[in-house]
Amino acid sequence: MYSFKNDYSEGTHPRILNALMESNYEQEAGYGEDRFTLGAIELLKQKIGRMDVDIHLLSGGTQTNLTALSAFLRPHEAAIAANTGHILTHETGAIEATGHKIISIEVEDGKLTPLHIKTAIDAHTDEHMVKPKLVYISNSTEIGSIYLKKDLEELSDFCKKHNLILFMDGARLGSALCATENDLQLSDLPSLVDAFYIGGTKNGALIGEALVICRDSLKEDFRFHMKQKGALLAKGRLLGIQFLELFKDDLFFELALHANKMAGMLRDEMIKANFKFLTHSPSNQIFPILPNSLISELQNKYAFYVWEKVDSDYSAIRLVTSWATKEEAVLAFIEDMKKLLK
């Protein structure tokens, strides 16, 4: 049984394991003040091209989202998110548990636009309602779509005009930036969003996300918020070592390119077989619509999620590839699919 369920089934890239082993007996300061974490932060600032940002390393995506949003928002302020947004659907009410409502917006492709946000603002008119303050987007989105530079520029302009915080969930940012249709660079983000994070967990790290805070007004006392939310790790070095290894050369992007390539192979074969897709996705998640009979047969050898029922005979499945997905496994899936179609 080979899994295409997610991009974190495997452990971590061997280079990261080696780096952890080699530094294992070195004594270092705790709570992210070790030389590895400080070095990783400086390296990331160089890669981003902005030395004036604040960078904090946290263990996972949900922890990063809830720590950041609870720090950025006042008690009466709310976040706006697409109805597919991770904070809305897969974080067990973590944002609400910190006291902040999420305003859900129905979208077709996982992406928010200024018109979507305006709808939320227009519907919340006075102090008897929560105040929309933060716009939550993810890149790539939960259904595999990506934001292009024009998309972000339009969102950024709108948010600045209306004094909104624009926050980007980057759990799969590597895949988004390495997608063939992408025209964004990592260095573009600080001028377009107020805060974002670079996801390591889903791109070769054992654990870890790097939160980048760009807007000065959001930076104050952030380590206090991290400590209060259980995000300030005594052995913060574990995160620093991983991000040093991922970014000291192009490993981070090489791993994302591999994941996208494997998804691309699957996508191309689905297109050749004349299957439609639930959503357009150039990243490492694809959502082909297959006959239920074919899905049942494929599930005998492969693990994946049945994402959405389309009608009585067809359903959309989600196939996710990772930095470690084996090409032979992808080829085997394709060959088995072809045989079953005959």
Beta-bridge partners for 291 = 314
pLDDT of residue 146: 98
- Give the pLDDT confidence score for residue 283 in this predicted structure: 98
User: Does CATH place domain 14-247 in 3.20.20.370?
Assistant: no
What pLDDT is stored for residue 99 in this prediction?
Answer: 97
Task: Determine the pLDDT at residue 4.
Answer: 98
Which pLDDT belongs to residue 248? 96
Under 8 Å between Cβ of 201 and 209: yes
User: Would 2-7+251-341 and 14-247 be classified into the same CATH topology?
Assistant: no
Q: Which residues lie closer than 8 Å to 215 by C-beta, 6 or more apart?
A: 165, 194, 195
The class (CATH top level) of 2-7+251-341 is alpha beta
Q: Minimal CA–CA distance to 251: which of 174, 337, 313?
A: 174
- pLDDT computed for residue 239 by the predictor: 98
Spatial contact of 71 and 225, defined as CB atoms under 8 Å apart: yes
Give the span between the Cα atoms of 143 and 129, in whole angstroms. Answer: 30
CA neighbor of 307 nearest in space, from 144, 130, 105: 144
Domain ranges of the chain: 2-7+251-341, 14-247
pLDDT digits (tens), the chain, 342 positions:
999 999 999 999 999 999 999 999 999 999 999 999 999 999 999 999 999 999 999 999 999 999 999 999 999 999 999 999 999 999 999 999 999 999 999 999 999 999 999 999 999 999 999 999 999 999 999 999 999 999 999 999 999 999 999 999 999 999 999 999 999 999 999 999 999 999 999 999 999 999 999 999 999 999 999 999 999 999 999 999 999 999 999 999 999 999 999 999 999 999 999 999 999 999 999 999 999 999 999 999 999 999 999 999 999 999 999 999 999 999 999 999 999 998
Q: What is the pLDDT of residue 318?
A: 98
> What CA–CA distances, in Å, run from 252 to 50, 192, 318, 334?
19, 22, 24, 27
What pLDDT was estimated at residue 268? 98
User: Alpha-carbon torsion 199, 205, 208, 214, what sign?
Assistant: negative
Q: Which of 85, 253, 285, 113 is nearest to 177 (CA)?
A: 253
Task: Name residue 213's amino acid.
Answer: I
